[in-house]
Amino acid sequence: MTLGLREFHPFEAAGRRYLYLVPSAAVFALDDCSEAILAELGRGPQPLAELTQTLAARFDAVEVTDTIAELQRVRALGEMAAKAAPMPKIVPLRPVPLQTLVVNVTNQCNLACTYCYEYGEDKIVDTENGQQPKFMSEETARESVEFALRESRENKHAHITFFGGETLMNFPVLKSTIAYARRRAAEVGKDIDFSLTTNATLLQPDVIEFLANQRVGVTISIDGPEEMQDKFRVFNNGQGSYAMAAPKIKALLQRHRTRPVGARVTLTRQTLDVRRIYQHLSEELGFWEVGFAPVTTAPGRDYAIADQGFDHLLEQFRALAADYLAAALENRHHGFSNVRETLQEIHHGHAKAYPCGAGIGLMGVSTDGRVALCHRFAGSDDHGLGTVKDGVSWERQQAFLDTHHVANKTDCSTCWARPICAGGCYHEANTRYGTTQAPNLHYCEWIRGWTHTCLEIYGELAEKNPAFLSQFDDEPTEKVS
C-alpha cells in the first residue's frame, strides 16, 4: 500500500501546526507524529512499510499506525492506488428557502460615483434610458413583500434589504413597505427584519428617527476621509459628497443605537490606504464595523486595482487584521468586518458549492418587480429568474445552479481556497470576463493570501482565546454590497 498526500493547506499559528482540509473545510491541529508523517509524505508518495520504518526511530510503531489511520480518516492522506474522487456536484433538488430579498426601491441616485456598477462604465442595465420606472411603486413593493414571505417557505424568518440607486430617494415607499411587511409577517406568523444601504446624504432627522425606531440595519457607503471620499463619490457637478455626508453620519450614529451601523468602503487604485480609512471611519466617525471591497470593474479602468495593487492591498489588510487579532485576544471589539466574516466562515467550515447565496437564498428585485440573481443584476433579462408577482421559474433557477456550481470551474479544482471562495462574485466575473460562470482569476492570489491570514488568526484564537470564537456559532448571513 503506497500512501500519498491528499488536498489540504497547512498553516501555523501560536507555535502549533494546523491543516485546512480541502474540500471538507475542516481545521485540525497536528501533533508531532502526524506532522512528521505529513512531512515525510511531502517528499513524495511512499509505501506504508517504508514510511513506518523511516519513522520508527522517532515514534512507536503503533503510534505511527494509529496516526496514519486518523489522517486517512480525515482524508489528509490516502492510498495512491485509490482513484481520486472527482469534485462532487450536488445541486439542490428543490427550491431553497429565500433568506434575503434585496429590493431596489429606486434606480436613481443623487450622486454620480465614477466607478458605480449601476451607472458607471460597466453597468449591466441602462436605467437612464430603459423602460423601467425610476422609482418602485407601492404596489410592486407590496408584491415584493408577499414574494419574500412566500419564498421564505418553511423558514420562520424573512429579511428584506432596501437598495438603490440611492435608497432614501424613495423613502415614502420604503416607509410604507416596512409597515405593510410587519403587518403581513405577523399575519402569516413569521419574523421579518430590514436593512438598507445608503450614501448618507439624505439622512434627515426624521429619516434617522424612523430607522432607529424601526430597528432598520444601516450600511453607509463611504470611502474614507474627505480626500478619499471625494475622489469618486461625487455629485453630478463633480463636487465631493463628504462635506454633506459626514455630519449626517455623525447624527445617525448618535441616535441609531438599536442596530450596529456599518460602513462599506469601495477600494480603488487611488484610495488604497486601508488603515487610514479604517481609522477615520471607526475612530473618528464612530462606525461599529467597516468592510472593504475592491471596486468591481473591467480591467484597464483608471480606478481598477492592478496586480501589484492587490499585493499592496493584502499587506494592508494583514496589518489591519493584526490589530483585529490583538483586540480579540483581549476580548475587545474591533470593527474590521472582512476578518470577522472570514473567521465565521472558517469557524463553520461550510464547503461552498456556490460563492454566495445569489439565486438561491438571496435574490434582487428591480423597480418594475423583476427578480434577478441579486441586486447587482436587478432588471437584467439575461440574469432574471422571474417576477415578484408571478414567482420565479424553478427551471431557470435549476439551470443557473447547474451551470454555476464550483465543480464546473476547472481552474478552481486545484485551488485549496475553493471551499471558501468557490470562484467569487458572479457580478465581478460578468464585468471582467463577460460571463457569470467564469471564476475570478484576477484575484486568486489575493483570496489565497487573505484566507491564509485569516486561518492563522483563527488558529491563534483557537489556541489562546477559544471562548472568543463562540460568537461565530450563529450561521453566517449573506452580506449585500
Partner 1 sequence: MKHLTAINRKAARMEEVTKDVVALQGPPQQPEPPHIPNGCSLVFSPGWEADRNGGTAGLCQPVERDLFDCHMGCFWPAQVPDQLNHAPDWTAKCAAAQKDWRKIDLIFPDEKK
By the criterion CB under 8 A, which residues form the site for partner 1? Answer: 18-19, 21, 24-31, 33-34, 63, 66-67, 70-71, 73-74, 346-351, 458-459, 462, 473
Q: Which residue do the cell numbers 471596486 mark?
A: 295
Residue 366: exposed, middle, or buried by beta-carbon count in 10 A (0-12, 13-18, 19+)?
Answer: buried
User: How far, in Å, CA of 440 to CA of 417, rounded?
Assistant: 13
User: How far, in Å, CA of 49 to CA of 470, rounded?
Assistant: 42
CB of 350 to partner 1, least distance (A): 7
| CB of 78 or CB of 95, closer to partner 1 | 78
CB of 45 to partner 1, least distance (A): 20
| CB of 291 or CB of 419, closer to partner 1 | 419
CB of 31 to partner 1, least distance (A): 5
Omega before 165 within 30 of 0, i.e. cis: yes
CB of 344 to partner 1, least distance (A): 10
CB atoms within 10 A of CB 472: 18
HSE-up of residue 440 (Cα within 13 Å, Cβ side): 27
User: How far, in Å, CA of 243 to CA of 83, rounded?
Assistant: 63
In angstroms, how far is CA 266 from the centroid of its own chain? 14
Q: 406, 271 in Cβ contact below 8 A?
A: no
* Residue 370, all three cell numbers: 423583476
Work out whether strand 157-163 and strand 262-267 pair parallel, antiparallel, or are unpaired: unpaired
CA angle 97/217/152 to nearest 5° reads: 10
| CB of 28 or CB of 433, closer to partner 1 | 28
CB of 157 to partner 1, least distance (A): 21
CB of 360 to partner 1, least distance (A): 20
CB of 337 to partner 1, least distance (A): 20
Sequential DSSP letters for 97-152? PP-EEEEE-BS--S---TT-TTTSTT-SS-TTTSSS-SB--HHHHHHHHHHHHHHT
CB of 27 to partner 1, least distance (A): 4
| CB of 127 or CB of 344, closer to partner 1 | 344
User: How far, in Å, CA of 174 to CA of 176, rounded?
Assistant: 6
